[in-house]
Amino acid sequence: MREKRKGPIGRAAGLAGGVAATVRRMQREREPRVLVYDETGYARLVQPDGRGYERLLQTAERMVELVDESEAEAKPRRPRARRADPPGGAE
Amino acid sequence: MAGTLTPERTARRLCELSADARAGVLLDAAGAPAGFHGVTRDRSGDLAQLARATFEAVDRAHRDIPGGPPEQVEIQVDRGTVYASRTPTWTLAVVARRTALSSLMLMDLRAVLGELESGAPIRRSVSAAAPPAEAEASEEAAAGESPVPELGVEDQ
């Protein structure tokens, strides 16, 4: 049986393990996924190799793009900020 | 009735209910757009067409999935999440931020569609930003307040 590491190396290893787990969890959360719900609210995951999966992802991506484009258009264009002080200028 | 939700206002209503909802579109039973919010008018047709295509693809995918016909769908992609819900009469689709809570968003979709169909408005709590005028703060009123308001009114 391996001894449990203690001291600074053990602590550093524990910290690194925690960071790696967080990164893995974040990557998992960012993965695209498709869920369908029936009338009772029961969720079923559409598998990546399932029928319609790719089409659903493409449709959703296009919908998000449309909203991005609309929001970018609606934002008022701000004029470029002028330099506050010219080089060597007065206060 | 003045407060009745109309199809034209439904997508806006959903976006008002949920801070994470960015845009929405409502389709009628024939799949024609009945209202939209959050996109420009020239893009609303495309959004409606994509919402229609979503449930077409869901129904295709459903052939491989056990259970009843899907009523709601959630699609998470890189920069956002699309939620859609349908009844025999209406289909409501919304584009939300990736941070949106699925259960809340799906509940809001159902609630807004229910409000549209039944006419009964959703009960909302009073906004903290706009306190009623008659409830002016005074020292007497403050002294009578419970220090733990969540626990409710104390017996006098």
Q: What would the DSSP string read from start to end of A11-28?
A: HHHHHHHHHHHHHHHHHH
Q: Please check the confidence at residue B69 and state whether its pLDDT lies above 70.
A: yes
User: Which residues, in sequence order, are CB contacts of B38 under 8 Å at separation 6+?
Assistant: A67, A70, A71, B11, B15, B21, B22, B23, B24, B95
Q: Please check the confidence at residue B75 and state whether its pLDDT lies above 80.
A: yes
Confidence bin at B155 (pLDDT 50/70/90): very low
Under the phi-then-psi rule, with left for phi > 0, alpha for psi from -120 to 50, and beta for the rest, what region is B152?
left
Contact B75 A52 (CB under 8 A): no
Token pair of B52 as six digits: 């229609």
Q: Please check the confidence at residue B97 and state whether its pLDDT lies above 70.
A: yes
Q: What is the structure's pLDDT at B138?
A: 52
Nearest by CB: A38 against B67, B102, B106:
B67
Q: Please check the confidence at residue B114 and state whether its pLDDT lies above 90.
A: yes
Contact A34 B75 (CB under 8 A): yes
Contact B76 A67 (CB under 8 A): no
Q: Are A61 and B77 in contact, with CB atoms under 8 Å apart?
A: yes
Q: Please check the confidence at residue A79 and state whether its pLDDT lies above 70.
A: no
Q: Could you give the ipTM of this predicted complex?
A: 0.74
The model's pLDDT over A33-51, given as tens digits with 9 standing for 90+, comes to 999 999 888 899 999 998 8
Least confident of A6-10, A74-78, B7-11, B121-125: B121-125
Token pair of A58 as six digits: 């493409």
Q: Please check the confidence at residue B4 and state whether its pLDDT lies above 60.
A: yes
Confidence bin at A80 (pLDDT 50/70/90): low
Tell me the pLDDT of chain B averaged across its residues: 81
Helix (H) or strand (E) holding B96: strand B91-96
Judge whether A75 is closer than 8 Å to chain B, CB to CB: no
**CA dihedral of residues B48, B53, B59, B60 (deg, nearest 10):** 180
Q: What percent of chain B stands above pLDDT 90?
A: 63
Residue with tokens 């209202």: B35
Rounded distance, CA B7 to CA B113, Å? 10
Judge whether B67 is closer than 8 Å to chain A, CB to CB: yes
Q: What is the structure's pLDDT at A21?
A: 87
Rounded distance, CA B94 to CA B98, Å? 12
Residue with tokens 């129904």: B59
Token pair of B138 as six digits: 């005074």
- Convert B103-142 into a string of H (helix), E (strand) and C (coil): HHHHHHHHHHHHHHHHCCCCCCCCCCCCCCCCCCCCHHHH
Q: What is the structure's pLDDT at B100?
A: 93
Residue with tokens 């701000």: A78
The model's pLDDT over B7-58, given as tens digits with 9 standing for 90+, comes to 999 999 999 999 999 999 999 999 999 999 999 999 999 999 999 999 999 9
Q: What is the structure's pLDDT at B125?
A: 57
Tell me the pLDDT of chain A averaged across its residues: 80
Q: Please check the confidence at residue B152 and state whether its pLDDT lies above 50.
A: no
What is the average pLDDT across B91-118?
A: 94
> Which B residues in the span 122-151 are in contact with A, Cβ-Cβ below 8 Å?
none
What is the average pLDDT across A3-19?
A: 82
Q: Strand (E) positions, chain B?
A: 21-27, 33-37, 72-77, 80-86, 91-96
Q: What is the structure's pLDDT at A11?
A: 86
Q: What is the structure's pLDDT at B149?
A: 47
Contact A39 B73 (CB under 8 A): no
